């Protein structure tokens, strides 16, 4: 669905600094979500909270109307992998909820996602969430100059599929990020070491593992957007905005503020880390 034009754009230092502001504002928005999220809330309430938060920050939500997407956030609950529509069904204890949010600030996109756990869940769900988050960081470790796109996907696939038997979604991938939400290159969560485009200084990419507890196979709902697991088992999604650098990638978004709010919220389960 997302077909960039084959040209990879590299950012200047000044542009990376601006993109860090964009990514950080997404993190701050997700932190506001982490403060209040609990069973009984609806994902439409979260959608409104995110849009309202931006109004005071001179930024605009980027997902709404993107290829016709009808909401500000993607709220993907349990067996929904990504692109779930917010709705008026109250969330319940034991749900896992990925909130994916994007915005434009000063002309530059931020786009990232975090999966929250509402209350008590099975140990197997805690493991899936932990391993998926770990896999994101293993992918990020490979986002350094001289490596290739395939090195990122290989690291994510190793940790999730090979080591833990989870399903790595093939149909959806991470992406370049900049003045557009989806730029080249595509960033799969699977792949072969040493394959794909070479990573160069100041390439900004969104790395976003979508990891299923069961089969990797997914289908798109009749609404044309909602992607679900074929076997109905849960799926987890974390996304960071990352700038390729020499030796060590620069993570533009920030989970630490989200995690602090998550830990302080008694209605959220963060016992996996």
Summarize as ranges the residues that interact with Co ion (CB under 5 A).
Answer: 111, 206
Nearer to Co ion, 125 or 206 (CB): 206
Of all residues in this chain, which one has the CB nearest to ligand MF3 in the complex? Answer: 69
Q: CA angle, corner 178, sides to 176 and 184, nearest 5?
A: 30
111 binds ligand MF3 (CB under 6 A): yes
Residue 119 CB, nearest approach to Co ion (Å): 27
Applying CB under 6 A, the span of 66-74, 85-93, 146-154, 191-199 interacting with ligand MF3 comes to 66-74
Specify the stretch interacting with ligand MF3 by CB under 6 A; choose among 14-22, 61-69, 116-124, 142-150: 61-69
- Residue that has been written with the tokens 């929904």 in this structure: 80
DSSP E strands, 51-182: 60-61, 73-77, 80-82, 96-105, 108-117, 167-168, 174-176
Nearest to 102 by CA among 214, 2, 222: 2
DSSP letter for each residue of 28-43: HHHHHHHHH--TT-BH
Task: Name the minimum Å distance from CB 30 to ligand MF3.
Answer: 12
69, 144, 226, 250: residue in contact with ligand MF3 (rule CB under 6 A): 69
Give me the half-sphere count of Cα atoms (radius 13 Å) on the Cβ side of residue 157.
Answer: 18
* Inter-residue contact 62 to 175 (CB < 8 Å): no
**Helix or strand holding residue 210 (H, E):** strand 210-212
- The token pair at 41 is 């809330």
Provide the mask over 9-38, with x wherever binding to ligand MF3 is found by CB under 6 A and - wherever it is not. Answer: ------------------------------
Should residue 133 be labelled a site residue for ligand MF3 when binding is judged by CB under 6 A? no
CB 184, min distance to ligand MF3, A: 13
Interface residues with ligand MF3 (CB under 6 A)?
Answer: 63, 66, 69, 74, 83, 100, 102, 111, 113, 175, 206, 208, 239
């Amino acid at each position: 669905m997302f077909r960039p034009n084959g040209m990879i754009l590299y950012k200047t230092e000044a542009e990376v600094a601006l993109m860090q502001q964009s990514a950080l504002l997404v993190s701050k928005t997700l932190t506001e979500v982490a403060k209040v999220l609990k069973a009984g809330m609806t994902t439409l309430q979260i959608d409104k909270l995110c849009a309202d938060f931006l109004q005071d920050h001179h930024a605009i939500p980027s997902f709404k109307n993107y290829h016709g997407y009808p909401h500000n956030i993607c709220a993907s609950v349990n067996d929904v992998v990504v692109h779930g529509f917010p709705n008026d069904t109250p969330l319940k204890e034991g749900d896992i909820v990925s909130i994916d949010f994007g915005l434009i600030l000063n002309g530059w996109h931020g786009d990232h996602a975090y999966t929250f756990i509402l209350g008590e869940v099975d140990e197997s769900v805690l493991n899936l969430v932990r391993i998926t988050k770990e896999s994101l960081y293993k992918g990020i470790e490979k986002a350094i100059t001289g490596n290739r796109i395939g090195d990122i996907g290989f690291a994510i696939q190793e940790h999730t599929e090979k080591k833990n038997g989870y399903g790595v979604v093939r149909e959806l991938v991470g992406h370049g990020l900049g003045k557009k939400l989806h730029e080249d290159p595509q960033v799969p969560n699977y792949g072969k070491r040493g394959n794909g485009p070479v990573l160069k200084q100041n390439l900004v990419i969104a790395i976003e593992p979508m990891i299923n507890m069961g089969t990797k196979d997914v289908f798109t709902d009749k609404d044309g957007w909602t992607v679900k697991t074929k076997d109905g088992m849960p799926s987890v999604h974390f996304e960071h905005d990352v700038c390729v650098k020499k030796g060590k990638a620069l993570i533009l978004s920030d989970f630490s503020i989200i995690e602090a709010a998550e830990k302080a919220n008694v209605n959220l389960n963060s016992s996996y880390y």
